[in-house]
């Protein structure tokens, strides 16, 4: 069984935290699906990742290409198993995750903007759904300036 990890963003932009997490996933040898809710937002994220530092560049692609299955990181709006056989799903912008996914994958990461009341509501509902399903989950906050685990189920 995998684990869900919630990242409450209050200091750093989502794309910075995502790049850090993608580096950790690459170090573990995992393929990742970054799941969003809007194709245009994923296209923006694709450009941001291309503009990042060369030493931390996450090889990635937008879903819908000829080589989706080979992508180490696939940016997608698709729910369910990703075309790249992801070991980890990183949910952004309130993209849905399910207890089944957490059980089937190594990790599910939920990144949410702690300064956006609607994003907080979505993340709270996701946390409750996973907790009620008995899924192992951790809640991390960067409010103090560094990442601290604040809760665990």
pLDDT along the chain (153 residues), means of 10: 94 92 95 98 93 81 94 97 97 97 96 96 97 97 93 93
pLDDT of residue 46: 94
**pLDDT of 52:** 76
Asked if residue 88 lies in contact with residue 106, where contact means CB atoms within 8 angstroms, the answer is yes
Residue 103 CB-density burial (10 A; 0-12 exposed, 13-18 middle, 19+ buried): middle
Which among 16, 48, 56, 34 is positioned nearest to 108, based on CA atoms?
A: 34
């Amino acid at each position: 069984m995998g684990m869900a990890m919630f990242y409450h963003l209050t200091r750093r932009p989502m794309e910075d935290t995502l790049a850090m997490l993608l580096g950790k996933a690459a170090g573990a040898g995992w393929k990742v699906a970054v799941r969003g809710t809007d194709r245009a937002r994923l296209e923006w994220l694709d450009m941001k990742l291309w503009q990042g530092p060369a030493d931390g560049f996450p090889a990635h692609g937008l879903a819908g290409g000829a080589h989706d299955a080979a992508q180490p990181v696939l940016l997608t709006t698709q729910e369910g198993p990703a075309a790249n056989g992801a070991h980890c799903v990183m949910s952004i912008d309130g993209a849905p995750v399910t207890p089944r996914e957490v059980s089937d994958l190594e990790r599910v990461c939920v990144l949410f903007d702690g300064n956006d009341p609607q994003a907080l509501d979505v993340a709270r509902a996701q946390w409750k759904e996973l907790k009620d399903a008995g899924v192992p989950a951790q809640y991390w906050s960067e409010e103090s300036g560094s990442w601290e685990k604040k809760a665990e189920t």
